[in-house]
Amino acid sequence: MAAELSGVDDVAGFYEGLGQVLNAAWGENLHYGYWEDDADDSTVEVATARLTDLLVTLLDPAPGTAVLDIGCGVGKPALQLVATRDVHVTGIAISDVEVDQAAKRAVEADRSHLTAFRNANVMALPFDDDSFDAAWAIESLLHVPDRGRALAETARVLRPGGRLVIADTVERPPMSPEGRKVLDEIRAAYHVSPYATAAEYSELLAANGFVDVDIRDISDNVVRTGTIMADAVEARRDELARIEGPEPVDQYIDLMRRAAARPDIGYLVIAATLGPVSGA
């Protein structure tokens, strides 16, 4: 547990440091964008909102239901969800800075009555069994040391029949030596756990009681994210370097460009339903 807590501190430090730099360069939706095809010239704001819309559609929460946002960041997807669906969202993050920013944005958007944000770890959720009707994890499980434990905790707090949606960067076997090198560098720099594959996610979800697992590879629709984000950071390099120093900014630009060029690094969106309790 001590090692896990240390890792949590490292991830929180990343989002309170370089993560704030990336929010400044990329925007409040600090996740990948979705472009329909090569001719789609949508802005980052539109493309990231479109990915959130896709996840909202897959989650499809009924009016009045309770949704858990695992790794809520500064709250942008949660606010987009409550703006389009009549639900209540509880967002968790391991950074007090992000939790405070999310709460502030909810007040500014007049959505504080539909949202709550708190510091919590998905591997030890501070909620009772059967507390939520649905949950999503948008690019957050890549930081979790034990995804199986995270999914077990998510299953515990979901009601039977509850919907789970995941968006995550993954390995696409077979991995090339260069692809492995890039992933290893990303893991070391940004406190990322070993990347999962589609098959591993399928096995973990089944092992934790999830059924009707729908795995979609949307790598081709999101691949330009790395290059555009690298361009956005590079365009403001000097300004952003004053926040965190030039080395992490330059490292980020380099890694994003190299990762975007790797076909063996992909992106999945996954939807699943929690099956009935055993024996029920």
Structure confidence by residue, pLDDT tens digits, 109-140: 999 999 999 999 999 999 999 999 999 999 99
Residue 58 resides in a domain: yes
Residue 279 resides in a domain: no
For residue 252, what pLDDT is reported?
87
11-46 residue pLDDT tens: 556 665 665 666 666 777 889 999 999 999 999 899
**Selection from 122, 12, 2, 139 nearest residue 76 by Cα:** 139
Residue 17 resides in a domain: yes
For residue 24, what pLDDT is reported?
66
Mean residue pLDDT of the chain comes to: 90
For residue 6, what pLDDT is reported?
36
For residue 113, what pLDDT is reported?
96
Query: Residue 221: which CATH number?
Result: 3.40.50.150
Average pLDDT over residues 226-255: 87
More confident residue, 3 or 238: 238
Q: How many domains is the chain built from?
A: 1
Average pLDDT over residues 78-107: 95
Model's pTM, two decimal places? 0.91
DSSP state of 171: E
Top-confidence range, 52-61, 190-199, 236-245: 52-61
Domain ranges, residue 257? 2-274
Residue 280 resides in a domain: no
For residue 242, what pLDDT is reported?
81
Alpha-carbon distance values, 242 to 22, 131, 247, 249, 251 (Å): 13, 43, 11, 10, 15
Residue 189 resides in a domain: yes
Residue 261 resides in a domain: yes
Half-sphere exposure of 45 (CA within 13 A, CB side): 3
Residue 98 resides in a domain: yes
Q: For the beta carbon of residue 12, count every other beta carbon within 10 angstroms.
A: 20
Residue 92 resides in a domain: yes
153-205 residue pLDDT tens: 999 999 999 999 999 999 999 999 999 999 999 998 888 899 999 999 999 99
**With b meaning 16 or more CB within 10 Å and e meaning fewer, what string describes 36-72?**
eeeeeeeebeebbbbbbebbbebbebeeebbbbbbbb
Q: How confident is the model at residue 278 (pLDDT cuts 50, 70, 90)?
A: low
For residue 3, what pLDDT is reported?
30
DSSP state of 110: T
Q: The tokens 């709250």 sit on which residue?
A: 75
In sequence order, which residues have a C-beta less than 8 Å from that of residue 166 and are 6 or more positions away? 136, 137, 141, 201, 268, 269, 270
Q: The tokens 């001719």 sit on which residue?
A: 39
